[in-house]
Structure 1
C-alpha cells in the first residue's frame, strides 16, 4: 500500500491523462484509472468544484480503486488543464452553467457506454451542484449519485436575492470577465483559505504543491459573470420541479459549518429529492470533506462505501 503523501502527489500506476473533445471542439483534460480487478466493481465519474483539479482527489481515488472501481474525472471547461475562457489565466469564467452541463452530458454518454457498470456520479461543491442539475435534466442516469458539500446556494450579505442583484450590478459596471475579488475563495473574510477548506494542513498543501509542478493548471478567483451565473443556477435548481422527479438514489454529505456554500440550501434540496440520504458534519468539517482530517474523511468514505454497497450493486 502506498503512503498517504505518495498517493496524493503521484499519478497512480495504470492511470492515464488525456484530452476529451466536447461536441463544440473544446478540449477537456481527463483522468482515467481502469479497475485492475478480475471482476470490476463498477465505474465512478468524480467531478470537483470551481477551480479544482483532479489531482486533489488522487488519495481518495486510491480508496475506491482498491475496491475494484474504475475511476474517471475531468477538469471543468475553463479551469485546471481544460483551457481558459478569459485573457487572464487565473480568472475562472463561464458564459452560463448550461455550458458545463452540455459538456457533462456528452461526456457521460460516451463514458457510460465505455466503462463497466454500475455507474456512479459523484460531485464536490460546484461539481455536486452540476451533477444534481444533470440528474434533474436527465443528462445522466447513474445507478447512484454522491454529492459532497454541494453548491446549492452561495453565502451572501442579507440574502441570496440581494447578493445576486449586487453581483449583477458589479458585472455590468465593467468587463464581466474581470476577477470578482483578489485571491481568496471568499471575499470580505478574515478566514484563511486553509481554514475555509479543511482542518488538515498537509492535505491542503497538496494543491499548491501540484501548482508548482504544473503552473498551467492553477486558477484564482471567479469572474463577476461566473458569480452571477452561479447565483442564477443555484436559485433555479432550488425551485425546480424536476428535482422531485429524480429517480437516482442520492447520498448527500453536508458540512453544516461550511463558509463557502450554504448548508441550509443543500439540506433543502436533499428534502426535495425522492430518494436521498443526508449525512451532516458539524464544526469538525470545513468545505472539503474528502480532504479533511482523518476522522472526518474516514467517516465520509465509510458512508459512501455503505451507500454504494446498498444502492450501486453489481
Structure 2
C-alpha cells in the first residue's frame, strides 16, 4: 500500500503541529484522504484512536478532539470518507453526498488500518465513531475490526423520522434509486452545506456559538471541503444498512455510547435498544446536548473525550492483565 502526502489545512484545524494527511487509493480505485494527528511524547503510549467521522465531515474538523486524545496518551487518526472532504466525489455535482453502496465505506476503513500499520502507530487500537461514522464503525466491528474497545457519539443506527414517515422514506428512496434518480438530492435537502445554510439559533449540531462559527469559518476559507445534502441512493443504502445492523447481535466488546438528550438527527430509541442488548455496553444521555458532542459546549465536549479516554484506558489494562 502506497501513501502519498496530501493537503492538511492547518490554518483552520486547531490541530497539533505534527498533524499530517495522506492520500490512499481503495481497491475499487477511489482515492480518500487520511490524517495522522500525532503520537504522544511518551515511551508508553496507550494506543491509537481510529476516529470515524460523520457525513459531510473532514479531518480538519477533529483537530481539537485529536489534540485532547493525544494529551491523554493516545495517537489519533481519521479519514475523509469517499464522497466528502477532499476524497474523490462520484457525481458530476460534487455537492451531493453520494455513495453507490454502504459496503464501499469498508474499503476506506481498511485503508485507515493500513495507515496505522505503515506508520507503526501504537497498539492497542480503539474505535470512536460519530454519526454516520458510528454506522460504518458498527459494521466494521462485525467484520472483525481489531480494536479492544469502541465508543460512539450520536451513532447513525437509526435516523430521526416521524413514525408515519419512516416507511414512506424507505419506499421513496428505493423507488428513486431503482428508477434511475438515485443521484438526485433527498427532498428538503440542498447543495448548500448545513452550517452555511442554517442560522446558529436553528441548528441541530451544537449549543456552542463559538464552535458553530469556527465550523463556518472552516468552510468559508476552504469551500472545497463543503458538502450538501445526500442523494436518494445514499438514503436508500443508509436505511437498508441500518435495518441490517439493528437485527445483528451487538459485538462482544466494551462499548460506551453518548447521545445528546436534544438529539434530532439520529434516533434515540434505536440507540437505546441496541445499547440495552450490548453485553458490555453503557449508554449515557447527555442533558440538553445536541448531535455533535465533540463540538458541543466546552464542559460537554471535554467530559465526553475524558470519559472515552478513561473507557479506552480501562479496556487496555484489562486486555493486558
The TM-score with structure 1 as length reference comes to 0.88
Aligned to 2:185: 179
CA contact (8 A) 1:7 1:58 kept: no
Equivalent pairs counted in the alignment come to: 301
Identify the range of structure 1 (265-274 vs 92-101) with the bigger mean alpha-carbon deviation. Answer: 265-274
CA contact (8 A) 1:194 1:201 kept: no
Cα 1:16–1:9 shift into 2, 3 Å: closer
CA contact (8 A) 1:44 1:69 kept: yes
Aligned to 2:212: 204
CA contact (8 A) 2:200 2:212 kept: no
Q: Does 1:221 align with 2:226?
A: no
CA contact (8 A) 2:14 2:64 kept: no
2:142 corresponds, among 131, 136, 146, to: 136
What is the 5 A alignment of 1:1-314?
9-35=13-39, 36-109=41-114, 111-112=116-117, 114-138=120-144, 140-157=145-162, 158=164, 160-172=166-178, 175-180=181-186, 181-182=189-190, 195-241=203-249, 243=250, 246-282=251-287, 284-313=288-317
Identify the range of structure 1 (80-89 vs 97-106) with the bigger mean alpha-carbon deviation. Answer: 97-106
CA contact (8 A) 1:51 1:92 kept: yes
CA–CA distance in 2 between the matches of 1:212 and 1:128?
27
Shift of 1:86: 0.7
Cα 1:95–1:54 shift into 2, 3 Å: same
CA contact (8 A) 1:16 1:32 kept: yes
1:141 is paired with a residue of what secondary structure? coil
Shift of 1:167: 2.4
Which sections of structure 1, spanning at least 5 residues, go unmatched?
1-5
2:203 is paired with a residue of what secondary structure? helix
CA–CA distance in 1 between the matches of 2:69 and 2:160?
32
> Once the two structures are superposed, what CA deviation does each residue of 1:124-145 show, in whole Å capped at 9, x if it has no partner?
000011111111222x120111
Cα 1:58–1:128 shift into 2, 3 Å: same
Which sections of structure 2, spanning at least 5 residues, go unmatched?
1-9
CA–CA distance in 1 between the matches of 2:272 and 2:286?
12
1:90 is paired with a residue of what secondary structure? coil
CA–CA distance in 2 between the matches of 1:309 and 1:69?
9
> Once the two structures are superposed, what CA deviation does each residue of 1:37-91 show, in whole Å capped at 9, x if it has no partner?
2322211110110111121111111111112211110110110011201111111
CA contact (8 A) 2:78 2:112 kept: no
CA–CA distance in 2 between the matches of 1:34 and 1:249?
25
Q: RMSD between aligned alpha carbons?
A: 2.4
